[in-house]
Amino acid sequence: MKPTFEEVLDQYTPMIHHIINTLNIYKEKDRYVHEATIALWEAFCSQDCRKGSFTSYAYSSIRGKLLNLLKKEVRWENTHTFVEELPEEGFDFTGDAADVGLEEYTRHLTDKQKKWVAECIIKGKRMEEVAVQEGVTVSAVKSWRAEALKKLRRKVMRCNDKIILNS
């Protein structure tokens, strides 16, 4: 007779907590317990006794789901930068002051990346317009954007570190 899921959950709850502890998860622990329970349910529903023991299948299913969730969280945090303090001085996007101020923030960018900043961010052009203007594909302009944003985020993070250290 096949055990019910409630019995399996009672039996494998210590394993869930062990996996969470070995992955050093300490924030939002309840959420990860919930995700691990879902992984156990999925393993319970799709188990095949002919392929091996359920214990090892459950362990790898739970651990794999939690690792995927952690990777997803890290990826989200890397693409969403939060700035706790903004610099007090503003940025003037008009006249010669714009060129001087813009140069300070974009000096580490390539010419093509600077072109993307100037055309798309400052002048508000669409990527398609910049691609036609420069005689390149839209995917090339998207590549300029991606690399420019990576570099600008790194610069902002360094600036935030200096602000925090100087405070």
Asked whether residue 88 is domain-assigned, the answer is no
Which residues, in sequence order, are CB contacts of 5 under 8 Å at separation 6+?
A: 41, 44
- Residues 3 and 37: their CA atoms lie apart, in Å, by 16
Angle of the 54-79 helix axis to the 5-22 helix axis, nearest 10: 50
Asked whether residue 12 is domain-assigned, the answer is yes
Report the CATH number at residue 22. Answer: 1.10.1740
| Cut 0.75: pTM above it | no
Structure tokens at 93: 């996007």
What was the pLDDT predicted at 79?
81
Tell me the pLDDT of the chain (167 aa) as tens digits: 788 999 999 999 999 999 999 999 988 999 999 999 999 999 999 988 788 888 999 999 999 999 999 999 888 888 876 666 655 555 555 555 455 566 777 788 888 988 888 888 888 889 899 999 999 999 999 999 999 888 888 877 666 555 444 43
Q: Are residues 15 and 54 in the same domain?
A: yes
Q: Are residues 72 and 130 in the same domain?
A: no
Q: How many domains does the chain have?
A: 2
Task: Look up tokens 């420019």; give the residue.
Answer: 148
Q: Are residues 66 and 106 in the same domain?
A: no
Give the single-character DSSP code of 52.
S
Whether the CB-CB separation of 124 and 118 falls below 8 Å is answered with no
Report the CATH number at residue 136. Answer: 1.10.10.10
Asked whether residue 87 is domain-assigned, the answer is no
Q: Are residues 56 and 10 in the same domain?
A: yes
